């Protein structure tokens, strides 16, 4: 990740949740525009697989605040 991207990320993570959600939505939307049908189908399958693993208790969920702290320490 470039220095500029790291700075943007740190700034974004300090925003209120609603602002972060809006930014995330806009970023994801910009990526979706470039996705082809095959990759979109693959992501849908992956999402379903992960949902199934969560329902079946095969996956340990980590609270978002813990993930964010770890991510900030990493950069």
7-22 average pLDDT score: 94
Q: Is the pLDDT of residue 22 over 90?
A: yes
41 and 73 co-located in one domain? yes
5 and 30 co-located in one domain? yes
Which pLDDT score, from 0 to 100, does residue 34 have? 67
68-72 average pLDDT score: 93
Confidence of residue 14 (pLDDT cuts 50, 70, 90): very high
49 and 26 co-located in one domain? no
30 and 47 co-located in one domain? no
pTM score of the predicted model? 0.44
Q: Give the position of tokens 């996956």.
A: 59
**Cα separation, 44 vs 54, whole angstroms:** 15
Q: Give the position of tokens 């974004």.
A: 12
19 and 49 co-located in one domain? no
Return the DSSP state at 16.
-
**Nearest CA to 14 among 58, 69, 53, 51?**
69
Residue 16 domain boundaries: 1-34
Mean pLDDT of the chain: 90
């Amino acid at each position: 990740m470039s220095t500029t991207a790291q700075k943007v990320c740190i700034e974004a993570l300090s925003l209120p949740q609603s602002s972060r959600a809006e930014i995330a939505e806009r970023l994801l939307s910009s990526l979706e525009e470039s996705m082809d049908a095959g990759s979109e189908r693959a992501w849908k399958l992956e999402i379903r697989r992960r949902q199934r693993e969560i329902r079946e208790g095969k996956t340990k969920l980590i609270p978002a605040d813990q993930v964010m702290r770890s991510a900030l320490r990493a950069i």
